[in-house]
């Protein structure tokens, strides 16, 4: 069974966090849809608030602490990313953007990305199309058509006992899983550059190669 590596980025600041709750629902639905398609999902959930200090230090020093470096590597090496941010001032949070800024700008080229956001009012739902989608378009990611915004009214149950988010979550996850499926879905990483001994490089120059 083929594996698809998925990194889930949750930029919520509180505990518990509606942002994390949405991220978990999207991840669980994606796992189900991938399993139905014959794939195994390898999911890593990242709470960005746990790395806030390391992210800030990275900007100052230009160096990623070991645990932040691991998260960066997992994000850049993922086949798919579920990116969920709370809304602040009609845009994604500063913490979310700061983490994206420490990534290699070319690393998410071709990565499949499912967008999610949470906010205190439905007036913020356009953040998906006016802030998050342009950000990942700039990074040349493959963005799932359906994004999910969850407001306060989405966390209760309907008369039939279901969640108002269920249908939207399932649709977005199905699209995400569909884009991750298939022979060409796994991202092709460039081959690692081979480090040759100095003497061999010098010999190649001397020989005119």
pTM of the model: 0.85
Q: Tokens 């090496």, residue?
A: 77
Residues 44, 77: Cα–Cα separation, whole Å: 12
Band of residue 162 on the pLDDT scale cut at 50, 70, 90: low
Phi, psi of 27 (to 5 degrees): -65, -45
Q: Tell me the mean pLDDT in the region 153-169.
A: 72
Q: For 54-111, write each residue's pLDDT tens digit.
A: 999 999 999 999 999 999 999 999 999 999 999 988 899 999 999 999 999 999 999 9
Domains of the chain: 2-206 (3.40.50.360)
Q: For 191-203, write each residue's pLDDT tens digit.
A: 344 445 555 545 5
Ramachandran quadrant class, 90 (left: phi over 0; alpha: psi -120 to 50; beta: rest): left
Report the relative pairing of strands 91-92 and 80-88 from DSSP bridges. antiparallel
């Amino acid at each position: 069974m083929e594996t698809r590596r998925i990194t889930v980025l949750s930029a919520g600041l509180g505990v518990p966090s509606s942002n994390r709750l949405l991220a978990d629902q999207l991840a669980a639905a994606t796992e189900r849809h991938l399993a139905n398609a014959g794939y195994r999902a390898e999911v890593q959930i990242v709470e960005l608030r746990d790395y806030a200090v390391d992210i800030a230090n990275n900007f100052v020093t230009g160096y990623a602490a070991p645990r932040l470096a691991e998260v960066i590597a997992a994000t850049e090496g993922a086949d798919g990313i579920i990116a969920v941010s709370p809304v602040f001032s009609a845009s994604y949070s500063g913490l979310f953007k700061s983490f994206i800024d420490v990534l290699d700008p070319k690393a998410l080229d071709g990565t499949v990305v499912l967008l999610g956001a949470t906010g205190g009012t439905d007036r913020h739902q356009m953040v998906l199309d006016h802030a998050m989608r342009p950000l990942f378009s700039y990074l040349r990611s493959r963005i799932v058509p359906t994004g999910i915004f969850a407001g306060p009214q989405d966390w209760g149950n309907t008369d039939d006992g279901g969640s108002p988010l269920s249908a939207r979550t399932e649709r977005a996850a199905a699209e995400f899983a569909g884009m991750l499926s298939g022979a060409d879905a796994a991202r092709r990483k460039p081959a690692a550059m081979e480090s040759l001994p100095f003497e061999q490089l010098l010999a190649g120059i001397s020989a005119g190669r």
